[in-house]
Amino acid sequence: MSGRLDLGAPAVVEFWTERHLCTLTTLRKDGSPHVVPVGATIDREAGLLRVISSDTSAHVRHVLAGAERVAVCQVDGARWSTVEGRAVVRDDPDAVAEAVRRYAGRYRQPRPNPQRVVIEVTITRVLGSASLGAPR
């Protein structure tokens, strides 16, 4: 069973701080999904999910072209969670530095990238497996 999750529930917080790769789904102009592996971090207080990327990547171009509705999913065995929301691309140094800091805390220090941007997703819905505390 699966359903909506409370982003503040201890099992959900723990799951989104463990080291798991994620997938980011954006939509191409023709409406077909584009799915890529990413590292993602959640800032519960700000209601944001962040993904660092290069300004030349396809998923960044999709968001800039108006495909602002995105989904980020992570899976670990039977446990899974998907965060949905509205995305924007930020290139200002403070936003990028904050995203890099959070990424380094969850994964590792990323390599230098002068073309780095951050996709900030304002979280609108969190779904997941019952093992993370989904409503019954």
Q: Tell me: pLDDT of 98 over 70.
A: yes
Does residue 133 register a pLDDT over 90? no
In a domain? residue 26: yes
In a domain, 49, yes or no: yes
- Does the pLDDT of residue 5 top 90, yes or no? yes
3-state secondary structure the chain: CEEECCCCCHHHHHHCCCCCCEEEEEECCCCCEEEEEECCEEECCCCEEEEEEECCCHHHHHHHCCCCEEEEEEEECCEEEEEEEEEEEECCHHHHHHHHHHHHHHCCCCCCCCCEEEEEEEEEEEEEEHHHCCCC
Q: Which pLDDT tens digit goes with each residue over 51-72? A: 999 999 999 999 999 989 999 9
111 within some domain:
yes
| pLDDT above 60 for 135 | no
Q: What is the average pLDDT value for the chain, to the nearest integer?
A: 94
Q: Is residue 56 one of the residues assigned to a domain?
A: yes
Is 58 a member of any domain?
yes
CATH of the domain at 121: 2.30.110.10
Q: Does 135 fall in a domain?
A: no
State the pTM of this model.
0.93
Distance CA 119, CA 96 (A): 9
| pLDDT confidence of residue 57 | 97
pLDDT of residue 2: 80
Q: For position 1, what pLDDT does the model report?
A: 61
Model confidence at 134: pLDDT above 80: no
**Can you give the residue range of the structural domain that contains 111?**
2-130
Q: How confident is the model at residue 136 (pLDDT cuts 50, 70, 90)?
A: very low
Number of domains in the chain: 1
Residue 136 lies in a domain: no
